[in-house]
Structure formats: C-alpha cells, structure tokens
Chains A and B, each alone.
Chain A
Amino acid sequence: MGDEFIVETRSLTKEFKGFVAVSDVNLRVRRHTIHALIGPNGAGKTTCFNLVTKFLTPTKGQILFNGTDITHTQPAAIARHGMVRSFQISAVFGHLTVLENVRVALQRKQGKSFQFWRSGECLNELNTRAEELIEAVGVAEYRDTPAGELSYGRKRALEIATTLALDPEMLLLDEPMAGMGAEDVRRTADLIRRVSANRTILMVEHNLSVVADLSDTITVLKLGRVLAEGSYAEISDNPEVVEAYMGSGHGAAGHG
C-alpha cells in the first residue's frame, strides 16, 4: 500500500469555528504521477494543501506519507522528508536576489545554515546549480534583481525554481500558473512535465487545459467534499462536475 501511493489521507476534516472547510476527504496520490486537485473557489483545495503539509492541524483524520503517519509531524520536518509545497499567494523572499532565493533552498543540504560565524562566500559554490534552476524557469536574466521587484508571473516561476532546488520527492503546487502569460504557462507546463519524471506532483490549478494536458488523475472538490475522481475524460463526463463548474463561472470542464 505504502508503495503504490505516496500520500494518503483518511477521513481528513478541518473545521474553522464550526464551518467545515474540508470534510471527510480520502485522497490517494499515486507515486510518480501528476495529480490535480480542482474545484470552484472556496472548495477547500488550499486548506487540503495546508493540512497535508501540516501548516494547519486537522480537526479529524490521518495523513500518511510514504506509509508513515505524519499527522503529528511539524511542517518543516515534512519538508525535510521530501514533501515540499508552494503557496497560492506568491511567496518569494522579496529582499533577496533571484539567485539568493534559490540558494537559500539549496544551502539547507549544505549543512552550514547555523554557522553564523562563517563568511557567506561559502554559498558561492551553490551558484552553478542555482543558475541552472533559474535558467530552467526563465528568470536567469534577473539573477541579481531583488525578487520583490519581479512581475507576478516571474515570481511564480522563481518559486518553482526554489521548490525544485530542494529536489523533493513530492511537490505540492498551489495554482503555479496563476497570473502567468500564455508563453510562461507553456514553459511552466513543460517544466512540470519534465520534473515529474521521477517525482510525484499534486497541484491545484484553475487552468483546465493545463490540467487536462498534465494530469494523470484529477480529484474534484466542492464544499470541502470529494465530488468525483478519475481521468480528465472521466470527470468531464460527470454531470455533477460540469454543473459545479458552470455554477462558479469557470466554464464547462468538458471544453478545457
């Protein structure tokens, strides 16, 4: 069991002062696949991400990662075990340069991060790898620009590079393409496909053509519950899913 599925949730539930944002969700993410989580605004997608990465504590339920119960593990420890998330609101280190943003992620494995007496010069040995990563997401020309000055789309790209810097076994991407232009969307989709080769990706995305293109499995959430699950063809045939999307103004899933 722990082999086939990298992440598994059991009756995962989160209540905010009586309001149930995520209700009894049993999610199973198959290893080395791209799994999309979709649903109308407020469906509970981000809350699910927060629960799985322990940024929020579930009200009820259990979370397994690689067969181990991580329901009571600290979020930073989960990241060190190889499950790394991005955020829906762009999360870069605004006063650090583009290169430094990626290097902060790379330096963790260097094991010198507590050494306050050591010169920052020792971080330069990470530059080559950091440059490869920012090149891969198309922000290499902004290498020495403070990340806070980038456009929204480029910040998102930088975030992906930072996440990839940790070489995680599993990535959770919360709307990685929001705010990107058509060309960046294409580049990012290519990148996600490329890095998915030996990784597992769980992503929230509103751009349904991207979802259709990339995902092996799609889970549709609505009002905190799982409405449907399956391949794109399967869920776009589901009348309930079509209705959920029509109702929220995202357009019919069938025309992605």
Chain B
Amino acid sequence: MTLSPSVPSRQKPFILALIGLGLVLPFAVYPVFLMKGLCFGLFAAAFNLLLGYVGLLSFGHAMFFGWSAYLTAYAAKEWGLTPEIAILLGVALATVLGAVVGWLAIRRQGIYFAMITLALAQLGFFVAVQAPMTHGEDGIQGVPRGHLFGLFDLSDTMTMYYFVLAVFVASLLFLHRVVNSPFGQVLKAIRDNEPRAVSLGYEVGRYKLIAFVLSSAFAGLAGSLKSLVFQLASLADVSWHMSGEVVLMTLLGGVGTVLGPMVGAFLVVAIQDFFAGIGSWVIIIQGVIFVVCVLLFRSGMIGVLAPWLKRRGITG
C-alpha cells in the first residue's frame, strides 16, 4: 500500500513505459476520450492525496474542480487570456478556496469532516447557480483553447492532447514526490495514528491543511484543463455528483496508491462513454460495477494487481 521511501530502480522503466504509452495511444484511441481520462485521473490523484495519505474523506472536491474550470473558461473567453495564464488563475482560485474550506473543515474528524466539505461545496454550487458569470444552466460555452504561450495552437486536438499529457505527467510525478517527501512521511504517520503523531510533537492540523490545499490546487488544475479540453465549464463540474464521482474513481482504482486513481478514472470514463447511448441507465450500471468491484477487490483494482507489480519491483 505505501510506497517505499526510496524509489525502487525498476520503477523508473515502468513509469517511462507508461509515458511512452501515453505518447502513442492517441493514434489508436480517440484523443478526446484520453484527455477526459487524464483530466479525471488527475482529479482523482489529487483527491487521493487526502483520502489515501491523510485518511480524510472530502465530499466537496467538485468545488475546486468546478470553480477552477469556471474561472479558466471565463478568463480565456471574456478576457482573452492565454491558456497557461487562464489555468494559473483557476488553480489560484482553487488554492484559495482550498485554504478556506480546509481551515474550516480540518478540526473535524471522519464523517463530520465529510459533511462540512459537502456543505461548503453546496454553497459553492448555489453561488454558481446564481452568479451571472457562470451562465447558469448553459454554463460557459465555446471557450477558446487559444495558443499556449502564444505559440502552440491548442485548437489542434493532438497539440491539446500532448499539452494535457505533459501537465498530467508532471503533476503525477509531483504528487508522487509529495507522498515520498519528509512531509509525506508525517502525513502517513497522521493517517496511521493521529494521537501518536501529536505525542511526537507534530501539529497535525497544519500538516492536514497543507495537504488539503495541495489537493485542492491539483483538483483545480484538473478542472481548468477539462474546461479547455471540452471548451465548456458547467454546473455539472461543481455539483455533488462530481464530488461523488471522484470518490468512486479513487476507491475503484485503489486508494493510497499512485496508479490506482488513474486506473479508476479511466474505468469510470470508459463506462460512461461506452454506455452513453442508454441515458440515465449509465448511473445504474456504474453503481452495479462499483458494488461488484468493491465486493470482489476490496483494495481496488491496483490493490489486486499490487502483488504482481511488487514481484516485478514496480511498486514498493
């Protein structure tokens, strides 16, 4: 479950192989589908930093995802800013929101923590319903993808894809670093036994807050990317369904692993795309698959594969 502190030497080729796969896959698979998977994979990885490594279940992560998407979309469309600046603005907003929500929620434990994050995210949802800038039910449509750094035309699907892939890979490597940093060690200690961490002199609240802010920032980054990929920011992005979906993806893939949330996200996105034709039944099918997975593989897909990966020295 936990990754060993020193990266095993055989992990590097595995990571390189995955990146290689990411580079060639859009020639075989519809790139927009892949980008959707990458955006949600990043969202789930950000969420997993909290659930898997601090043991905090946030039920309000749509707030960071959705509001970051709105601001990026608005900045790109109304202010005509370049995509990288629009994304940075979105992430900055998510970071500030994360600091506020985290500060309010972190004193509570377990289900109370989940309830406060949900309540605050609902507040964020109602603001989105009311505020003129979000265009209510319509959302912000026709967001221009623009030119990255004023150079690369992102309206070209392949260029957009490689941009999303680059951001995704860099983010996952960074999150991997966080989890294995001195800070990450303290997080895992808090997750395993909070009173003991206190008795060793750690102000656990501060560690949790920093983790919360980092998690919201990356959730925001995922939302910003998504709004550029689909050229749309809508109420669906800030709704509690979205908060629930990220929980589902993370649990499905395997909580507390670096690969798990990504696998879970692709799975959920694939299910949604595959069954898109049958309308609201997709939710039921998703639910059934979720229940089956939880019953069959209690530690998620990656949890089942872990012994196999471990034997090959890929995960520790």
Given A91-B195, A119-B180, A100-B201 contact (CB < 8 Å): no
Chain B residues with CB below 8 A from A113, complex form: 182-183, 185-186, 202, 207
Chain A residues with CB below 8 A from B204, complex form: 76
Complex Cα gap A122–B183 (Å): 11
Inter-chain contact A93/B193, CB cutoff 8 Å: yes
Identify which of residues 185-211 in chain B touch chain A, using a CB-to-CB cut-off of 8 Å. 185-186, 188-189, 191-193, 195-204, 206-207, 210
Chain B residues with CB below 8 A from A112, complex form: 182
| Residue A115 at the chain B interface, CB threshold 8 Å | yes
Please give the residue numbers on chain A whose beta carbons come within 8 Å of chain B beta carbons, in ascending order: 53, 55, 74-77, 79-80, 84-87, 91-97, 100, 103-105, 107-108, 110, 112-124, 146, 162, 166
Rounded to whole Å, the gap between the CB of A172 and the closest CB of chain B is 9
For B2, B181, B202, B206, the residue with the greatest tally of chain A CB atoms inside 10 Å of its CB is B181
Given A95-B1, A95-B192, A121-B6, A108-B200 contact (CB < 8 Å): yes
Inter-chain contact B177/A93, CB cutoff 8 Å: no
Complex Cα gap A166–B198 (Å): 13
| Residue B184 at the chain A interface, CB threshold 8 Å | yes
Given A93-B192, A114-B210, A162-B178 contact (CB < 8 Å): no
Inter-chain contact A116/B178, CB cutoff 8 Å: yes
| Residue B221 at the chain A interface, CB threshold 8 Å | no
Identify which of residues 300-315 in chain B touch chain A, using a CB-to-CB cut-off of 8 Å. none
Inter-chain contact A108/B2, CB cutoff 8 Å: no
Inter-chain contact B1/A117, CB cutoff 8 Å: no
Inter-chain contact A76/B201, CB cutoff 8 Å: yes
| Residue B5 at the chain A interface, CB threshold 8 Å | yes
Inter-chain contact A118/B182, CB cutoff 8 Å: yes
Inter-chain contact A87/B195, CB cutoff 8 Å: yes
Given A108-B201, A108-B202, A120-B6, A87-B196 contact (CB < 8 Å): yes
Chain B residues with CB below 8 A from A95, complex form: 1-2, 188, 191-192
Complex Cα gap A203–B214 (Å): 41
Complex Cα gap A80–B198 (Å): 10
Complex Cα gap A108–B202 (Å): 8
Residue of A at shortest CB range from B201? A79
Given A91-B193, A100-B5, A116-B214 contact (CB < 8 Å): yes
Chain A residues with CB below 8 A from B198, complex form: 55, 75-76, 79
Please pick, from A77, A117, A120, the residue contacting B5 in the complex, using a CB distance under 8 A: A120
Sampled A-B contacts (27; CB under 8 Å): A55-B195, A55-B198, A75-B198, A80-B201, A87-B196, A91-B193, A91-B195, A91-B199, A93-B188, A93-B189, A96-B188, A97-B4, A100-B5, A107-B182, A108-B202, A114-B183, A114-B207, A116-B184, A117-B177, A117-B181, A118-B181, A118-B182, A119-B181, A120-B180, A120-B182, A121-B5, A124-B6
